[in-house]
Amino acid sequence: MEQIFCGAINQDNEKQIRHIRNSVFTYEQGVDPDIDFDGQDAIAIHTIIFVHNAAVATGRILKDGHIGRVAVLKPYRSFGLGTKVITALQEYASKNNYPRIYLGSQLHAEPFYTKLGFKRFGQQYTEANIEHISMQKYLAD
């Protein structure tokens, strides 16, 4: 049974968000936690996916439409949870009249975001020793 939370970070969900992101970014990918936890979580809207009451996926959107910190715990990948994270953030953006959403995709994830309607823009770049490409999706006609 899945549940989707979309809202501000608070004392109840901060530990869950940190656990998912530490597991994926710090331990799996070797990202410095100071890069991941950049001080913007308090001003972001977060999505958390729960499976059987356990937090297993997360992502955030900033006021300018920047989506980031999308992470799914390893045992829960390939079940469409990443799509659900992006869909929830996109729905939030649409309801709040964001003209576009954008993100920095790790290169291996570019096909995932392309399937969700994002298009590549700009040059490839390195962040946290991982190659990325900027992608965007316009929400308004």
pLDDT tens across 15-42, in order? 999 999 999 999 999 999 999 999 999 9
pLDDT > 70? residue 141: no
As a CATH number, domain 2-98 is 3.40.630.30
Q: Which residues lie across from 137 on neighbouring strands?
A: 101
Percentage above 70 pLDDT, the chain: 99
CA distance 121 to 78: 26
* Beta carbons of 73 and 25 less than 8 angstroms apart: no
- Looking at residue 103, what is its pLDDT? 97
- pLDDT tens string 107-134: 999 999 999 999 999 999 998 889 999 9
Q: What is the DSSP letter of 8?
A: E
Considering the entire predicted model, what is its pTM? 0.94
Q: Which helix (H) or strand (E) holds 14?
A: helix 11-21
Phi-psi region of 94 (alpha: psi -120 to 50; beta: other; left: phi over 0): alpha
